[in-house]
């Protein structure tokens, strides 16, 4: 199982992250100083590393404004980075304090984007049976972010808890 994270390249505006930050300030929360948004795709199936690289670079990433990281994920949700586009932000993050909130659809909720991705993978010429799951990832920067504060942000701004679940880490 592979996880692809699509990030905004350095020097390009992360509009969604900035929008979320502005909404966070609107809640009266000032502990969070920056938000970076990225999109997550989990691809499951009999698929090779070369094919997943093609899917990440040719389909899921806008070569001009975005970069990507590919992680291999096991059934328990543990993951390790196995490939990355040259200028991803991952290394820059090492020097900062941040928390991560991931938002995913709950089981049984239709993921329309995943259906489109499966169609587009076939168009790419990859004729494998795959399952795709899509999610959203928010890096929230700030000195020490309390879990209660992160829960508030997740519930009030990032996840519709009727159809989505969120994970803080």
Partner 1 sequence: MKKVKTLILRTAGTNCDYETQSAFELCGAVADRVHINTLIEKKNKIFEYDILVFPGGFSYGDDIASGKILSNEIKNKLGDEIKKYALSGRPIVGICNGFQVLVKIGLLPDPKFFKQIFTLSCNDSDKFECRWVYLKVEKKVRRESNCIWTKNLPDVISLPVAHGEGKFVSGNEKFLDNLNKNSQIVFRYSLKDGSEPEYPLVPNGSIGHVAGICNKKGNIFGLMPHPERYVFTLQHPAREGFNDRYGWGKVIFQNAVDFVI
Q: Indicate the residue among 54 and 79 with the shorter CB distance to partner 1.
A: 54
E strand spans, the chain: 2-8, 34-45, 66-73, 79-84, 98-105, 130-141, 164-168
Q: Indicate the residue among 69 and 117 with the shorter CB distance to partner 1.
A: 117
Least distance CB 23 / partner 1 (angstroms): 10
What string of DSSP letters covers 115-163?
HHHHHHHHHTT----EEEEEEEEEEEE-SS--HHHHHHHIIIII--TTT
Q: Which residues contact 106 (CB under 8 A, 6 or more apart)?
A: 163, 164, 165
Least distance CB 120 / partner 1 (angstroms): 5
Binding to partner 1, residues 17-46 (CB under 8 A): 18-19
Block residue for tokens 């304090």: 97
Q: Which residues contact 70 (CB under 8 A, 6 or more apart)?
A: 2, 3, 4, 52, 53, 56, 81, 82, 83, 84
Binding to partner 1, residues 107-126 (CB under 8 A): 112-113, 116-117, 119-120, 123-125
Pick the binder of partner 1 from 26, 27, 48, 62 (CB under 8 A). 62
Least distance CB 63 / partner 1 (angstroms): 6
Residue 59 interacting with partner 1 (CB under 8 A)? yes
Pick the binder of partner 1 from 27, 63, 151, 163 (CB under 8 A). 63
Pick the binder of partner 1 from 30, 46, 50, 64 (CB under 8 A). 64
Q: Contact positions toward partner 1, by CB under 8 A?
A: 9, 12-13, 15-16, 18-19, 58-60, 62-65, 112-113, 116-117, 119-120, 123-125
């Amino acid at each position: 199982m592979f996880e692809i994270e699509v990030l905004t390249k350095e020097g390009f505006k992360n509009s969604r992250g900035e929008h979320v930050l502005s909404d966070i300030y609107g809640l009266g929360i000032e502990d969070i100083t920056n938000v970076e948004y990225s999109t997550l795709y989990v691809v499951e199936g009999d698929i090779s590393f070369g094919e997943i690289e093609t899917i990440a670079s040719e389909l899921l990433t806008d070569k001009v404004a975005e970069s990507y990281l590919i992680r291999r994920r096991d059934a328990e949700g543990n993951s390790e980075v196995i490939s990355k586009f040259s200028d991803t932000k991952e290394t820059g993050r090492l020097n900062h304090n941040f928390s991560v909130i991931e938002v995913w659809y709950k089981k049984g909720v239709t993921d329309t984007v995943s259906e489109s991705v499966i169609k587009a993978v076939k168009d790419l010429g990859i004729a494998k049976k795959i399952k795709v799951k899509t999610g959203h990832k928010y890096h929230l920067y700030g000195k020490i972010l309390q879990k209660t504060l992160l829960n508030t942000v997740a519930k009030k701004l990032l996840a519709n808890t009727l159809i989505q679940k969120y994970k803080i880490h």
